[in-house]
Amino acid sequence: MPELPEVETVRRGLAPAMEGVVIAQADVNRPDLRWPFPPDMAARLTGQRVERLRRRSKYILADLSGGETLLVHLGMSGRMLVSGDPLGQFVHDHPAAQKHDHVVLHMENGARITFNDPRRFGAMDLMDTATADDHKLLAVLGPEPLSNDFNEAILVAAFAGRTTPVKSALLDQRIVAGLGNIYVCETLFRAKISPRRKVGNIAATRVAGMVPIIRDVLAEAIEAGGSSLRDFRQADGELGYFQHSFDVYGREGQPCKREGCGGTVARIVQSGRSSFYCRVCQR
């Protein structure tokens, strides 16, 4: 599933073709994805100007001129593709319709935004912009890791006295929003902390030290264009490439990259997810 950097990459790719532009026509080609689409979604989108395109955790949010916000979740295999962009950001002509093109937005500027999702684990919803933060998917989210709401004191307080493994705690969207398996593994490697460690047993100074590391890992991934694991693609069709910079994720059995360590990367399963780490330098 795309994590925060991948979703932010898609948002940035969509913005030139969508922000400030009217949706001339919306085509909704099926009644549902992960759950049913809202009633009359095509009619409610058609004629609306996209005032702002933003991200909350792993969700893309398009604030519309009529006072509603379109929520988009890419799921496991969802892609939002841009074609025919008149601003010259993309070189793709409008492709022929594909089997899994479930929602297509024909923009007034000539661009076409296609949501393609073979597995249909993605989702879309419409909600009032004024109360969007109260939506059931957004209300439970913790602070954004790249915002001022996420800081050392917040993370130290969230970890205090808990017996949860640190890997699981960082994946808890109520503690920090948007982190996923890949970037938690990378964060813990840089912090020299084992994913097995119980958060209540980690010194407050080490917990606090994870905050700038989390920000650095995410910022580097966004800058690199996001990861292109499995079915992920950027909005302009190009692959991301941060996966080439992974220190531990997916590197089971390979030498630790930390100079002078001499260990090898191990993989364990925690709560059904693979954790990659170095047993020698991560304690």
Residues 184, 68 share a domain: no
CA distances for 50 relative to 1, 16, 31, 172, angstroms: 26, 11, 23, 31
Please report, for the domain that includes residue 106, its CATH number: 3.20.190.10
Instruction: Give the pLDDT confidence of 9-27 residue by residue, as tens digits.
Output: 999 889 989 999 999 999 9
Which amino acid makes up residue 184?
V
Instruction: Give the pLDDT confidence of 117-175 residue by residue, as tens digits.
Output: 999 999 999 999 999 999 999 999 999 999 999 999 999 999 999 999 999 999 999 99
Axis-axis angle for helices 181-191, 204-224 (nearest 10): 130
Domain final position from 134, 162, 193: 134
Tokens encoding 202: 């980690």
Tokens encoding 250: 């997916």
Please give the pLDDT value at position 89: 57
Query: How many domains, the chain?
Result: 2
Instruction: Give the pLDDT confidence of 35-73 residue by residue, as tens digits.
Output: 999 999 999 999 999 999 999 999 999 999 999 999 999
Instruction: Give the pLDDT confidence of 194-229 residue by residue, as tens digits.
Output: 999 999 999 999 999 999 999 999 999 998 876 654
Residues 183, 128 share a domain: no
Please give the pLDDT value at position 96: 81
Give a yes or no: residue 146 inside a domain.
Answer: no
Instruction: Give the pLDDT confidence of 224-273 residue by residue, as tens digits.
Output: 876 654 445 566 665 566 666 799 999 999 999 999 999 999 999 998 89
Please give the pLDDT value at position 229: 43
Q: Which of these is catalytic: 44, 58, 112, 251?
A: 58
In eight-state DSSP terms, residue 129 is G
Please give the pLDDT value at position 223: 87
Question: 56 catalytic, yes or no?
Answer: no
What b/e string do you get for 23-58 counting C-beta neighbours within 10 Å, with b at 16 or more? beebbbeeeebbeebbeebbebbbebebeebebbbb
Please give the pLDDT value at position 98: 85
Give a yes or no: residue 139 inside a domain.
Answer: no
Q: Are 125 and 50 in contact (CB under 8 A)?
A: no
pLDDT reading at 82 higher than 90: no
Strands (E), the chain: 23-28, 50-56, 59-64, 68-73, 79-83, 101-107, 112-116, 123-128, 265-270, 273-278
Residue closest to 7 by CA, chosen among 237, 246, 227: 227
Range of the domain at 257: 152-278
Please give the pLDDT value at position 245: 79
Please give the pLDDT value at position 238: 56
pLDDT, mean over the chain: 91
pLDDT reading at 75 higher than 70: yes
Question: 58 catalytic, yes or no?
Answer: yes
Q: Which of these is catalytic: 3, 6, 8, 68?
A: 3
Residues 156, 58 share a domain: no
Domain final position from 102, 134, 166: 134
Residues 181, 73 share a domain: no
Please give the pLDDT value at position 230: 46
Give a yes or no: residue 147 inside a domain.
Answer: no
Residues 123, 225 share a domain: no
Please give the pLDDT value at position 224: 83
Q: Which of these is catalytic: 12, 192, 273, 279?
A: 273
Give a yes or no: residue 121 inside a domain.
Answer: yes
Domain final position from 100, 134, 168: 134
From first CA to last CA, the distance across the chain in angstroms is 28
Q: Are 214 and 224 in contact (CB under 8 A)?
A: no
Residues 255, 211 share a domain: yes
